[in-house]
Amino acid sequence: MRRVSDKLLTSQKSFVHAVDNISFIVNRGDILGLVGESGSGKSTTGRLCLKLIEPTSGKISFDGVELSKLCGEELRRFRRNMQMIFQDPTASLNPRIKIGEAIRHALSFQSIGTLSEQIERTQAMLERVGLKPWSNFYDRYPHQLSGGQRQRVIIARALVLNPKFIVADEPIAMVDVSVRAQILELMLELKREFDLTYLFITHDLAMANYVCHRIAIMYLGKIVETGPKEEVFKRPLHPYTLALLSSIPVPDPKAKLERIIPKGEIPSPINPPKGCRFHPRCPYAKPICSEREPQLEEIRPSHRAACFFPRS
Amino acid sequence: MPLLDIQSLVVEYHTLRANVKAVDRVSLSLEKGHTLGLVGESGCGKSTLGLSTLRLIPPPGKIVSGQITLDGIDIVNCSEEEIRRVRGKKVGYIFQDPMTSLNPVKKIGDHFVEMIRTHEPGVAKEDALKRAEEMLSRLGILPERINDFPHQFSGGMRQRVMIGLALALDPDMLIADEPTTSLDVIVEAQIIELLKELKESLSLTLILITHNIGIVAETADRVAVMYAGRIAELGETGALFEKPMHPYTQALLNSVPNITKKGQILSWIPGAPPDLAEPPTGCRFHPRCPYALDRCKEEEPLLLKHNSSEVACHLYDRR
């Protein structure tokens, strides 16, 4: 008799190339916006940068240190340099742990300072992210806070270790509209104060435009365009970027926009289209697009795109 | 005569802790063929208001007082029999989440058959399926896909199916509750374009419930801004965006990034929306309002006409 696990293990394997052959650099002090739709591989990329998942192949270096060479205790200590802000502040806090303790645990896990020093640093951090006076918040449970306050706790927990690099994965997607700008401003303020570098993952181009210095647009596991924010938004090269830009709803009834909305939806990454992955939806596709895969090339100074027929 | 007229509607949720007034003395009317955008943050009562127009508020929610008149029908007091004739036939409802609003063990076609035959028992199954096919192709889905199950559809296509179901009985009015919230930007734009086009071709009256200010700016003729169960401001879309009057509307519009504006500086509203079990006295926005006067703490402002709009704020009340 065959066991269920046998069947499961012997069934044909298919691989999802969630992130496929991408290269990018985040400079110190930069805010790189990683923009794309769901399933484009942007969250996977963020997790790879922190070695929360292992790449199948490829190399990731942080401050000159190759991450794949680190493991065990060494990796744990190294992680204090790089932290993550997660999307859902409710799901990323343990409902039974008081928020002050949740922040202090980050310090105690890295064995930084004595207990009283840890508590002191936590208190200062709470105040720094706007949860003041700290005495009103330290002993509260997550359910006693609003969504915006919880996201502040997540930010405090990431920053209490004094990291150099933060991966922020959709940090405002789950927060109320009127509070979003507040969280963004806080993140920008903290960036200046703590000399941080951000990888800002978002699906919201308008937010990315507001926050980031540089933008990388992802589609089906590939970076299709990257460059300084002004360039990418003013003079987009890749038809997919153009489509994304023209899809954003503009909060101004007088704004008349010419829309180029591609048909269909992002296909499954298990069996991506041959050639350029965007070609089945691209209004400008030519025969070559389904045959050969375009590489990311510099088309204008520091503005790159992976397209045979770049726009503008 | 307006198609929909709501007069001082109060909807309460009875909980052990308190009676929460999710919708509190809301009045608004909607002309045939117009689009109303209902905006506000989560918990402001916009979905409850939408559901109450079809008397669909789940318990422990209850319409406590007020009137809803839809095409001459008294929604609050009519019989169960009558309200069933309104649901689906007069008003189609697009629910918030296309992932959970479809039955996973039923084929797409059977969703249509159930919908059509519940309201029109005389229709044969084959005819209902034929209508489903026509509807799907109109919405940009291949008709043969009526034999597929919901999980075989992508998010955007499921939302198209939801729109199709809401339109299956050829209603006069469509209520869309956050129709694009769980969708990606490009798909969102596709769905909004589709809604606009259907509204024109079927001359629908549309209520669009959303927190996305951009979508309202693009689609609505009139906008109602809700805050803590009350309407803060109600006016023509153009006027409201150009010259928002209520401090809450102003703050809300300033907190949304606009990609077409250069060097925009976002502002935000301090604090969080109030707990509706214990709403603030006077104007409900006063604890977060930068212009709050003493009067705002004590006296509740009424929704008064001011130029072409209506606004509930003491700053504009020169009595």
Residue A2 has pLDDT above 50, yes or no: no
Nearest to B208 by CA among B303, B93, B101, B102: B93
Asked if residues A230 and A27 have their Cβ atoms less than 8 Å apart, the reply is no
Q: Can you tell me the mean pLDDT for A92-103?
A: 94
Contacts of A137 (CB under 8 A, 6+ apart): A99, A100, A126, A131, A145, A149
Nearest to B12 by CA among B277, B275, B210, B211: B277
Output the CA–CA distances (angstroms, integers) from residue B21 to A305, B182, B278, in the order listed: 53, 27, 9
Residue A199 has pLDDT above 90, yes or no: yes
Residues B165 and B180 occupy one common structural domain: no
d(CA A22, CA A38): 17
Residue in this structure with the two tokens 């926005």, named with its chain if needed: B285
Peptide bond into A133 cis (omega under 30): yes
**DSSP string for residues in B163-215:** HHHHHTT--SEEEEESTTTTS-HHHHHHHHHHHHHHHHHTT-EEEEEES-HHH
Question: Is B280 part of any domain?
Answer: no
Q: Please classify residue B27 by burial: count the beta carbons closer than 10 Å to its beta carbon, then call 0-12 exposed, 13-18 middle and 19+ buried.
A: middle
Determine the residue type at B78: C
Q: Which pLDDT band holds residue A9 (cuts at 50, 70, 90)?
A: very low
**Which residue in chain A is spatially nearest to B242 when comparing CA positions?**
A252
**DSSP string for residues in A169-226:** ESTTTTS-HHHHHHHHHHHHHHHHHHT-EEEEEES-HHHHHHH-SEEEEEETTEEEEE
Q: Which residues of B touch A184 (CB under 8 A)?
A: 266
Last residue of some domain: B268, B291, B310? Answer: B268
d(CA A261, CA A282): 10
Kindly determine whether residue A178 and residue B252, on different chains, have CB atoms separated by under 8 Å: yes
Q: Within a 13 Å sphere around the CA of A212, how many CA atoms are in the beta-carbon half?
A: 33
pLDDT of residue A206: 85
d(CA B66, CA A203): 41
- CA A195, A200, A202: angle at the middle one, nearest 5? 160
pLDDT of residue A238: 95
d(CA B271, CA B288): 6
Kindly determine whether residue B241 and residue A205, on different chains, have CB atoms separated by under 8 Å: no
Asked if residues B29 and B4 have their Cβ atoms less than 8 Å apart, the reply is yes
Name the minimum distance, in Å, from the CA of B216 to any CA of chain A.
8
pLDDT of residue A24: 87
Residues B79 and B211 occupy one common structural domain: yes
pLDDT of residue A4: 45
Last residue of some domain: B126, B143, B170? Answer: B170
Q: Which residues of A touch B187 (CB under 8 A)?
A: 37, 265
The structure tokens listed for B43 are: 């918990």
Kindly determine whether residue A253 and residue B156, on different chains, have CB atoms separated by under 8 Å: no
Contacts of B276 (CB under 8 A, 6+ apart): B20, B21, B22, B43, B45, B228, B229
Strand positions, DSSP E, chain B: 4-14, 19-30, 35-39, 61-70, 73-74, 91-94, 173-177, 205-210, 222-227, 230-236, 304-306, 309-311
Last residue of some domain: B108, B143, B170? Answer: B170
Kindly determine whether residue B218 and residue A254, on different chains, have CB atoms separated by under 8 Å: no
Query: Higher confidence at residue A173 or residue A29?
Result: A29
d(CA A223, CA A45): 11
Q: Which residues of A touch B267 (CB under 8 A)?
A: 181
Residues B10 and B117 occupy one common structural domain: no
Question: Longest Cα pair distance anywhere in chain B, in angstroms?
Answer: 67
Query: Higher confidence at residue B273 or residue B165?
Result: B165
Contacts of B254 (CB under 8 A, 6+ apart): B266, B267, B268
Residue B265 has pLDDT above 70, yes or no: yes
- pTM, two decimal places: 0.86
B156, B184, B214: residue with CB nearest A251: B214
Q: Look up residue B243 and give its DSSP letter.
A: S
> Across all residues in chain A, what is the average pLDDT?
87
Question: Is B276 part of any domain?
Answer: no
Determine the residue type at B308: S
Question: Is B281 part of any domain?
Answer: no
Please indicate if any CB of chain B lies within 8 Å of the CB of A136.
Answer: no
Residues B80 and B125 occupy one common structural domain: no
Kindly determine whether residue A148 and residue B272, on different chains, have CB atoms separated by under 8 Å: yes
A181, A250, A266: residue with CB nearest B214: A250
d(CA A277, CA A275): 6
Nearest to A27 by CA among A194, A165, A173, A201: A165
Q: Within a 13 Å sphere around the CA of B184, how many CA atoms are in the beta-carbon half?
A: 23
pLDDT of residue A6: 41
A177, A252, A265: residue with CB nearest B211: A177
A38, A147, A177: residue with CB nearest B255: A177
pLDDT of residue A138: 93
Q: Which domain holds residue B135?
A: 100-170
Q: Which pLDDT band holds residue B181 (cuts at 50, 70, 90)?
A: confident
Element containing residue A299 per DSSP (H, E): strand A297-300
Asked if residues B180 and B159 have their Cβ atoms less than 8 Å apart, the reply is yes
Residues B86 and B214 occupy one common structural domain: yes
Least trusted range by pLDDT, from A171-185, A287-301, B188-202: A171-185
Nearest to A229 by CA among B140, B244, B262, B219: B262
Residue in this structure with the two tokens 């209850």, named with its chain if needed: B62
The sign of the dihedral angle between the CA atoms of B291, B297, B299, B303 is: positive
CATH code of the domain in which B72 resides: 3.40.50.300
Tell me the domain boundaries of chain A.
230-248+271-312
Question: Is B233 part of any domain?
Answer: yes
Question: Is B300 part of any domain?
Answer: no
Residues B125 and B187 occupy one common structural domain: no
d(CA A233, CA A222): 19
d(CA B103, CA B80): 24
* Tens of pLDDT, residues B141-172: 888 899 999 988 888 889 899 999 999 999 99
Kindly determine whether residue B214 and residue A233, on different chains, have CB atoms separated by under 8 Å: no
d(CA B234, CA B222): 7
pLDDT of residue A7: 43
Q: Look up residue B241 and give its DSSP letter.
A: H
Residue A287 has pLDDT above 70, yes or no: yes
pLDDT of residue B318: 66
Number of domains into which chain B is organized: 2
Kindly determine whether residue A265 and residue B264, on different chains, have CB atoms separated by under 8 Å: no
Element containing residue A166 per DSSP (H, E): strand A165-169
| DSSP bridge partners of A168 | A85, A200
Residues B36 and B181 occupy one common structural domain: yes
Highest mean pLDDT among A65-69, A136-140, B261-265: A136-140
Q: Which pLDDT band holds residue A93 (cuts at 50, 70, 90)?
A: very high
Residue in this structure with the two tokens 């992976």, named with its chain if needed: A306
Contacts of B147 (CB under 8 A, 6+ apart): B107, B108, B109
Residue in this structure with the two tokens 């079990």, named with its chain if needed: B277
- CA A186, A191, A192: angle at the middle one, nearest 5? 105
Contacts of B210 (CB under 8 A, 6+ apart): B37, B38, B39, B178, B179, B180, B181, B216
SS3 of A41, please?
Answer: coil
Q: Is the ipTM of this complex over 0.90?
A: no
Residues in chain A: 312
Name the minimum distance, in Å, from the CA of A116 to any CA of chain B.
31
- Helix, strand, coil distribution of chain A in percent, nearest 5: 40, 15, 45
Residues in chain B: 319
Residue A229 has pLDDT above 80, yes or no: yes
Q: Which residues of A touch B275 (CB under 8 A)?
A: none
d(CA B228, CA B42): 9
